Amino acid sequence: MWSVLWAAVRSKAPYVTFPVAFVVGLVGYHLEWFLRGDPSPTAEEEKSISEQREERKLQEIAGKDLTKVVSLKDKLEFAPRAVLNRNRPEKS
């Protein structure tokens, strides 16, 4: 008899656990909303991190002349390192 009972419980478990989990989640969501209260208006107006980063970058380059750049040939740190530096031309 116990094996039949456990087989029935095992086969009907998703139909029982989903509504229970749904109710627990719903109660927890509303309880958290009740305890925290309404969100402050400054939280909604706060800028995202990506927006803050973009504004900071714009402020950094505001006073610079962007037409004066260093040639890529002059920048040796971007050149791949050859084995024992055999293929790298020497600067004079």
Given 3-state DSSP classes, what are the helix, strand and coil percentages for the chain, each rounded to the nearest 5? 65, 0, 35
Tens digit of pLDDT for each residue in 52-78?
899 999 998 888 888 888 777 776 665
CA distance 88 to 76: 9
CA distance 79 to 90: 13
Tens digit of pLDDT for each residue in 20-54?
999 999 999 999 988 988 766 565 567 888 988 99
What does the CA dihedral 23, 28, 33, 36 come to, rounded to 10 degrees? Answer: 170
User: What is the domain partition of the chain in residue ranges?
Assistant: 1-36
Structure tokens at 33: 């909303």
Block residue for tokens 């971007």? 78
| Predicted structure pTM score | 0.38
